Every structure is written in structure tokens, then in C-alpha cells.
Structure 1
Amino acid sequence: MEIKSFSDLSKVINMFHDNYFWKPIWEDLEAIKKFDAHIKTIEESKGWDRSRNHEKGKVLEDFAVFLFERFIDSKVTKNRRPADNEMDVETVLSEKARPAFMNDYMAPKVICECKNKKSAPIDVGMVAKLYELLSYRGSKFGVFISLNGISGYGWRFGEGKRKKILLRYGIPLISFKVDELESLSSEGNFYTMIKEKVHRLYDEADDETPDFPNHDHRELPIRLFEIVGHFKKFELIGDSEEHQLRERITMRYGTLQAEDDD
């Protein structure tokens, strides 16, 4: 393709694979070793006593820095906030070449909060605090990395709060549990996972269908798979249509994550 304008350049950039914008760990032996070391330390930190809480927080922050530094030409820093003595990780993305998704949702910077608490999820207050921090720091995109994810489901508690923030202010806040990220040592791309999380959040916030009874903590793609299963069971669709629908759900939202029973 001949590039004659900035518009042409933008089209070319958007054709690039996600691996161009975030360097995969599984392609780099040294990166795999560092990644595995981070995961091992995080696992060990679960057994540390309360006197080491400061160290526990640093363990997860160092892991976040490692992940975000793999964005091409990014600048990643840790910031301690004097007001609450909390730390966050700030990533200023490259200004040289950014795909449309990065420009639309993530640029110019991403703020990441890390919560290394094995007994508690991210609550409503933490979600609200991250949103407030974004506007103060000139960001429009927030990420949580934690052990237990965000509290609640549907429109309840932390999950409901972030959907309300999205609908009212247009600010997406996404969340990763550490165990969701462990596969990055052997496959996948963190940037791809971010895109899937954002698509999922927007579609869940826009989803007006009622929740299935007795399915607490179910995410939208799991519910969609269940709907497809019901359609097939009642012979509303055939085998090929079922396969196509399941493929389209996976392409948009990624591979389904197994959920804990607790």
C-alpha cells in the first residue's frame, strides 16, 4: 500500500498485529524467566504475615511494571501519592505509532492500581478512587491487577460501579486477576487481552437482558454461550450455526476463563 497521507499511515498501523505494539513474553526466553519469577514471588507473598504488607504491594506493582514496559516505546513509572500513601503504576504510551484502539481508549496514559490482598476483592470505594485519580492525572483509562478481581457481578457492588462510571463519564476501568495473566508466559498478548476486556465491559454495560437466576459472578460471554446452548437444545439453530456463534463470541471476548466455586 502506498502511503500518501496520514490517513493512509493510520490504516497501515491498524493492520499491524498486536504483537507489534506489545512484545510477547513467550517469544523471549529471558522475559519468560522474569515473568515466572514474578508469578512465583506473588504466590509466595500470599503466605506472608501482615508485617510484610508493604512488600506484598510492591510485588504486584513490580509485576505490573514488567507487563506495561513491554508496550513499545512506553514510559512506565511508579507514583506514590502523599494523600493516601498508596502507589500506582503510570504508563505513558508511545506517541510515534498508535493503533486506533489505543488512541480511542488508552492514550495518552494508563493508570494501574495493584491490590495484593488474598482475602478481599476490589470494592466500590477502590473503583471510585481510581476513577477520580484518572481525571486528576490526565488519563482516561484505568486498570486493576489483583488476586481476587472486582467485587460483585452485574450491576452490584464494584462491578456495578465501574459500569455506571462508563455510562456516565465514558471512562473504562478494567480488571485482571493474576491467574488470568499467567498464560502470557506461553501464549497470547496483554494488549489483546486489554482489548477483549474493554469490548466485554462496553457490551455488558449495554446489555439490558436479565441475569440468569442462580448464576452469580457469571460474565457476559459465559451467558452468551449458555444462550447459544439453549437455542441448540430447543432446535432453534443447527450444528453449524452453533459452531459459528461460539466462534464469534470467542473472537470478540477471548477464551472463557474458568471461575472459582467460592
Structure 2
Amino acid sequence: MPELPEVEALAAFLRERATGHAVAGTDVLAISALKTYDPPITALNGLIVTDTVRRGKFLDIDVDGLHLIIHLARAGWLRWHEELPARLGRAGGRNPLAVRVHLDDGSGFDLTEMGTKKGLAVYLVRNPADVPGVAALGPDPLDEAFTPEALGAIVAGKRTQIKGLLRDQKVIAGIGNAYSDEVLHVARMSPFKVAATLDESDVATLHSAIVTTLREAVGRAEGLHAQDLKGEKKTGLRVHGRAGEKCPVCGDVVREVSFADSALQYCPTCQTGGKPLADRRMSRLLK
């Protein structure tokens, strides 16, 4: 799933290539991906792309005051074309193409989604706050207002395990399953640690880990073509998705805890005092 660093890089990529161009047309092959109908998607035709920004894990493309907002979910992606293919292919079946946006110079992008579990969401709104997920976002961890004191206020009194808290978009915007694993590894903190038990020193350590981890990932992704961002994310991760491999810090074996629809990875030596965590496959921790 694309998280804050990848969406930040996609926003920068589109700002560089799409800004100043008019939308020449749109094709919607997966009607289920389109979550709004007023204004209609055809209202974009002839309007100029003026900016692209990130809001949590949402892409917000400003098109003359209308906002094309995209959430790529677990298996969605944006594919840029300097020259769009002539053929769309058939809707449905194994065709991953959901939406295509044509620009006036023949370039444009496809929104695709692999697999059978569909989560890609595309909204066209007059105000970004009209998208429920955007309106509910918590503070952005790369914003100057996200200080150790702000994080302390967030965790205070929360009887939630810290892994789940970091992933809650209403609490902190932009961090998902992968970067929460990375943050907690950098902070040397158990994913099962209860947020309310963090003292001032723990909060400072966690804050530093959040900001450092995300800024480093954004830096690695800066300037990359959209097609290269997935690969960069995978190679840049230290523990997430690396169960059975050696921890790059201490050399211990990276372990995994599986749940009904996801999994977390961690290093016992770095994060849990050398003690493996119970594999609670049916836990509701991450829901």
C-alpha cells in the first residue's frame, strides 16, 4: 500500500509533469472506483491542472478549483504515460485499468488496481473536506506543528497498542503498516506497547523515529519516476516484509506476527528484549 513517502513523491511527480496542462478527457472503466458523481467526472474536461498535493495518503490534484482526489488503497497505483496508449482494453475481468486521465499534449496517467479485493477510490469534489477520509485526517507527521508535545498529547491516556495507533489515520495521517514497522524498529519499541505507558523520553524517541524515518524515505523517493517508487520502497525497508532475514542493526532474525488480513515484522533483540511476540493471527489489533 502506498504510504506517505510514496504519495508525497507521486504528488511531486505530477506537479512537475501535469501542472499547466488541460484535461483533454477521462475514461472510467471501473465504475466502483468512482465515489462521487456531482460534479461529474466530465466536468474536468478543458480545465487546467494547477497543483498536486498530498493529504495523508490521499493525492489531491487541483484542476481549476475542482479536486480530483485519489486513494490508492492496498493494490492501486498511478501509471504515467508520456504518450497514452490508444487502446483501453475491456472493462472488468483481469484488466487492472480503472480510470484514465488524458492531458492536452497526449500524455496522462492511468489509475490501476490489481487483484480481486478492490479499494481504489476516486473522488471529484469542490472542497477536499467533502471527502470523508480527508476530513477525518489527524495531524501530518511532517508538519511543523507535529512536535514531541503534540505526540505526547496524542498518546496520553490511549489504551491502544502503539502499532495500531500509528496506523490510525484519524490519529496521525500518512503512516501505514510498512512505515509503522519501520518507525517502531528505529525507536526500539515493541509494537504491542500500550500508548498510554509511554513516558516523556519514550515520546521523544518515538517522535524522532517517526520524523526521521519518513523524511529519509521521502528523500530516497525524491525525483524518482512513478514506476520506480514501489521498488525503492521495498529496498529501503529494514524490517517490514523481511521476516526470516537478519536485522540490519543487530543481526537477529526478523520475526513476524500474523493477523486476519495483515502482518507486522519486528526484531526481538532491538524491540522486545529478545522475547518473541505471540502470533495472534485472529487478533483485532490492526482493525
Q: TM-score range with shorter-chain normalisation?
A: under 0.3
Larger strand proportion, structure 1 or 2? Answer: 2
Larger helix proportion, structure 1 or 2? Answer: 1
TM-score, normalization: structure 1?
A: 0.25
TM-score, normalization: structure 2?
A: 0.24
Say which structure, 1 or 2, has more relative contact order (CA 8 Å, 6+ apart): 2
